[in-house]
Amino acid sequence: MLKVDSLSKRFDGVQAVRDASFNIQQGTVTSLIGPNGAGKTTLFNMICGYIKPDGGTVHFKGKDINASPPYAIAAMGIGRTFQNLRVIKMLTVLDNILLSVPDHQMNGILGPIFKVLRKNSELGCREKALELLDFVGLREKADDLAGSLSYGQQKLLSLACCFALEPSVLLLDEPVAGVNQEMIINILTLIRRLKETGIAVFFIEHNLGAVMEVSDRLIVMDEGSIIADGIPSVVREDPAVVEAYIR
């Protein structure tokens, strides 16, 4: 579904990502681990179009998406969350979800004027958004400002926001970092349920316990290169991986 082929990026003499190649399959959970500065987030940013790669290609559902801007990639079906938590704090929880509603009427710059003149066509979307909030357990917070939620709840909201895009691939950057044990279990349960619906989940995480529990596959990066890729129990014993983590 998502095919990354020899992707590379160099920042002022630092080779952030070197020749990364892999495939992400439908209905699987793949995790990407590695020491700080290994290039994991850079890899994510290249897949999502936030950073243009120096070389290599990204194909999604057989289509080359290298030249597509981030918003188009998101609309195509690659949802992502960010390492530093991003939600719109001054909007309500429900409004955050509703940001995902595709803007059919934004045709040309005069689109919004016609939008104003038309009746509100969002009622169906509201229902769906509320169902989604049920799914992540934030239904009763729907009308609260996102900024008033706890960190863990905001994390859930940011997940819900990218689910709302109905993506086929989800890239999660450290989904369980900085949240309590109970919330970690919540989020892992969500990831499993998403997998059941056929979504490919690809996530960066430092919490190895969480990674082992939920992943079908483990990709390990160090200093920009992929040093191991395979079934978690095997990769875990790989001497190169052990070396990277101990050093």
Among 9, 18, 40, 80, binds other proteins (CB under 8 A): 80
Query: Measured between alpha carbons, how far is 16 from 224 in angstroms, rounded to an integer?
Result: 5
Query: Measured between alpha carbons, how far is 111 from 228 in angstroms, rounded to an integer?
Result: 49
Beta strands, E only, 75-216: 78-80, 169-173, 200-204
Query: Measured between alpha carbons, how far is 186 from 44 in angstroms, rounded to an integer?
Result: 24
Q: Map the footprint of other proteins across residues 21-60, applying CB under 8 A.
A: 48, 50
Query: Measured between alpha carbons, how far is 175 from 82 in angstroms, rounded to an integer?
Result: 8
Element (H, E) at 125: helix 123-136
The least distance separating other proteins from the CB of residue 23, rounded to whole angstroms, comes to 23
Among 101, 130, 185, 227, binds other proteins (CB under 8 A): 101
Q: What are the DSSP calls for 236-247, one per residue? A: TT-HHHHHHHH-
The least distance separating other proteins from the CB of residue 237, rounded to whole angstroms, comes to 36
Contact flag: residue 115 with other proteins (CB under 8 A): yes
The least distance separating other proteins from the CB of residue 203, rounded to whole angstroms, comes to 15
Contact flag: residue 150 with other proteins (CB under 8 A): no
Contact flag: residue 177 with other proteins (CB under 8 A): no
- The terminus-to-terminus CA distance of the chain in angstroms comes to 35
Which residue's structure tokens are 């020749």? 19
Among 2, 65, 74, 191, binds other proteins (CB under 8 A): 74
Report whether 160 contacts 133 (CB < 8 A).
yes
- Interface stretch with other proteins, choices 54-62, 86-94, 192-200, 219-227 (CB under 8 A): 86-94
Contact flag: residue 87 with other proteins (CB under 8 A): yes
Identity of the residue, 161 or 235, whose beta carbon is nearer to other proteins in the bound complex: 161
Report whether 132 contacts 109 (CB < 8 A).
no
Contact flag: residue 90 with other proteins (CB under 8 A): yes
The least distance separating other proteins from the CB of residue 194, rounded to whole angstroms, comes to 17
The least distance separating other proteins from the CB of residue 177, rounded to whole angstroms, comes to 17
Query: Measured between alpha carbons, how far is 245 from 247 in angstroms, rounded to an integer?
Result: 6
- Interface stretch with other proteins, choices 13-21, 113-121, 194-202, 230-238 (CB under 8 A): 113-121
Contact flag: residue 142 with other proteins (CB under 8 A): no
Contact flag: residue 69 with other proteins (CB under 8 A): yes
Backbone angles phi, psi at 208, to 5 degrees: -65, -30
Give me Rg for the CA atoms of the chain.
Answer: 19
Q: Which residues bind other proteins (CB under 8 A)?
A: 48, 50, 69-72, 74-75, 79-82, 84, 86-91, 95, 98-103, 106, 109-113, 115-116, 120, 122, 145, 147-148, 161-162, 164-165
